[in-house]
Amino acid sequence: MQRERLLKVLVIGDLGVGKTSLIKRYVHRVFSQHYRATIGVDFALKMLSWDQKTVVRLQLWDIAGQERYGNMTRVYYREAVGALVVFDMTRLSTFQAVLKWKEDLDSKVALSNGTPVPAVLLANKCDQRSHGLCPKLPKLENFSRQCGFVGWYETSAKDDTNIDAAVTCLVESIMAAE
């Protein structure tokens, strides 16, 4: 008998960092240059054959960047068991917002034993590295550890870089935390 686990995972980060694009790439294997801001929240579902005994139903909550200024995140975050926190490697302000998103997350949701939900940091748009701020960024390894992330990845929704690896890292942490 296979068991099924439903995991609610949040995808958060500032406006235009690529949350919707990462999800579309991961779930539907497509990418578009066209930007249409998410309003409120969108959903996507991905089934993973996790191991011989377990099927994971990954419910991705794609939260609009503008929601950081609203007061709905507490409602959206409820019962989440993990998060992808995304910034845009080419825009410093979106990196600075990572801490605010992480604090917002940790102040509004936790696992049933009180520990923070596992979160993975994504430095997105790494295909545009040459326009980026790499030299200005602190070493992400240290930064992500200090901020309590379970891991970090440079990703590209455009080129399909590291998205599977990042999700796998998150799901492993979630499954280990149970």
* Contact positions vs ligand GTP (CB under 6 A): 15-21, 32-33, 35, 37-38, 64-65, 124-125, 127-128, 156-158
What Rg value do the Cα atoms of the chain yield, rounded?
15
Which residues sit opposite 124 in a β-bridge?
88
Which of Mg ion, ligand GTP, none binds 35 (CB below 5-8 Å, type-dependent)?
Answer: ligand GTP
Exactly one of 8, 10, 22, 38 binds Mg ion (CB under 5 A); that residue is 38
Q: With contact defined as beta carbons under 8 Å apart, do 109 and 118 qualify?
A: no
Edge-to-edge, what's the strand order for the sheet holding 41-51? 41-51, 54-63, 3-13, 82-88, 119-124, 151-154
Give the count of residues interacting with Mg ion (CB under 5 A).
3
Q: Minimum CB separation from ligand GTP for residue 150, in Å?
A: 21
Question: Based on CB atoms, which residue is closest to ligand GTP, 106 or 127?
Answer: 127
Amino acid found at 119: A
Token look-up 């939260």 returns 63
Within 2-21, the residues that bind Mg ion by CB under 5 A are 19-20
Q: Which among 11, 31, 14, 33 has a CA at the least distance from the CA of 89?
A: 14
Which of ligand GTP, Mg ion, none binds 33 (CB below 5-8 Å, type-dependent)?
Answer: ligand GTP
Which of ligand GTP, Mg ion, none binds 21 (CB below 5-8 Å, type-dependent)?
Answer: ligand GTP
Contacting residues toward Mg ion, per CB under 5 A:
19-20, 38
